Structure 1
Amino acid sequence: MKPASTATAFGVASLGIAAFSTMDALMKGLSIEMGAYNALLWRTMAGALIGGAVFFARRSPWPGREAARIHLLRGVLSAGMAILFFWGLARVPLAQGVALSFVAPLIALYLAAWLLKEKIERQAIFTSLLGFAGVLVILSGQARTDLGPEAFRGALAILASAGLYAYNIILMRQQALVAKPLEVAFFMSLIMSTCFLIAAPVLATLPTAPQMPALVGAAFLAFISLMLLSWAYARAEAQHLAPVEYTAFIWASILGLIVFSEPVRPMTLIGAGMIVAACIIATRRKPVSIAEMEAAL
């Protein structure tokens, strides 16, 4: 693996988040039109075809046992995480949905502490309370704008997705250390699409011709984003790359306004600021080594 500076890794990760945020906007539109399940089914299948074509054309080696275990675990976890997130995103403004997902790093702190049997520090408790208060502020703003019960259920689904993403954060760094970006992107799409295919006989419907460009575009953006993030996380510690996640709110605000005519509510801005502040404070804790995480898992 070639060395890279933290700044370079951060820049690459930023591009990955930008690609992922654009994919989120495409997927929100598709989820509204055809449902979250079908949008994810066809996007991940398209991603698996794109990734497989490149993977086999380059004659990439098959993953070893440890890499395959992490691919399978993260792929199944991501399938559940994605269906919850995009089902919720179809019911709430894009910026609000992304802001709610920011609680994942805070949950990850408790998850790592539980896995590693660490004592939860006062600072971790404070940051959790601050982040939770930010969530309440966003939900309060949602109630004031009278988005309806569907939006509230969507917000709860996104929070549940964030809980799964917390564990995904730990797996992401582990996966990047044992597999190359192309392998990660291909097997993530393959395993996720396999999970969604289980329900295909009951839930699947064919996409229409006008929906195909958005599906292919979303698959391509997801594939590129996975490769960029995998490259970055293989070259820098998660604690240094965590702040890049928050640039997604900027992209979500811009795309939500342009594509869906969704203004960013003041309460969403305040709540997002509280959650981001809590996460930044939390990342100042003594970092946990990957070796310790792997031993705990």
Structure 2
Amino acid sequence: MGERVLVTGGAGYIGSHACKALKRAGFEPVTFDNLNTGWAEAVKFGPFVQGDLMDRAAIDAALAEWKPVAVMHFAALSLVGESMKDPAKYWRVNVNGGLNLIEATVAAGIRNFVFSSTCATFGDQDGVVLNEDTPQKPINAYGASKKAIEDILFNFRDAFGLNHVIFRYFNVAGADPEGEVGEQHEPETHLIPILLDAIDGKRPALTVFGTDYPTPDGTCIRDYVHVMDLVEAHVLGLRWLLEGKGSRVFNLGTGKGFSVREVIDQARLVTNREVPVVFGDRRPGDATALVSGSARAVEDLGWMPERSTMPQMIRDAWGWTRQPRFTE
């Protein structure tokens, strides 16, 4: 059995894929999840501890029992719209929960921490390729709460020697091509699974919010990364820490965005089906184009986002929709 890694949110979309990647890399992932948005059926690659980050004693007990060499932190509330309507919830759960976890990690003598952050910490910086040195100006409670955890990690590095790797990224798409885990949210808010559900008749249509943006086809542009590429970066970040290379921040993206219309066109080609679409007004707060580069991750970690083409992401997500849904 390999070295253990505590994975918070390991029953969720990205966390479950991370557990698969960790196991494949020779580690033993221990999932810590309250199943608020995750699925017990997604925990397939190591032990499961059902617990909540608001419960410090539960975290302490899990770290004492499993003695991981590192913590990989995915668990968080992550709906931007909800965070704008109920910011207190995001500050309470994401920040207090994250601080509990970080304090417990230090108290247990663990000094390696991988954090799943977000490019939402940069705020609305339209039309530029974001890098790690771009000023952070979050415009909603979700981005602000994630930035707060980053700030806490910098403080705990200086005070206690807690080395960390922080990953910031935008849209994650695709699924495990072997079909063991995939993307399933209730409610679903991500473009590609909503689009595929519309193709499959699980919802009436995909609503495109805004067709008058200053882009080549009038729709918003976003960066997408395949979930398996993303979690492999997290494993590389873990190895970076275990090799004693110190704290580092990495953006993860392709540097190239896709418009909503381009995603729809690619889905039509991949599935050979028409996409039911209705057009609506712009949503408040939607930026025109958000794209992140990843030159540092490529150069320092040797990261290769080979699966992060739109056809591949849609193809793997479409394959997942052919699987029985999680029910627990």
Higher strand share: 2
TM-score range, shorter chain: under 0.3
Q: TM-score, normalised by structure 1?
A: 0.27
| Greater relative contact order (CA < 8 Å, ≥ 6 in sequence) | 1
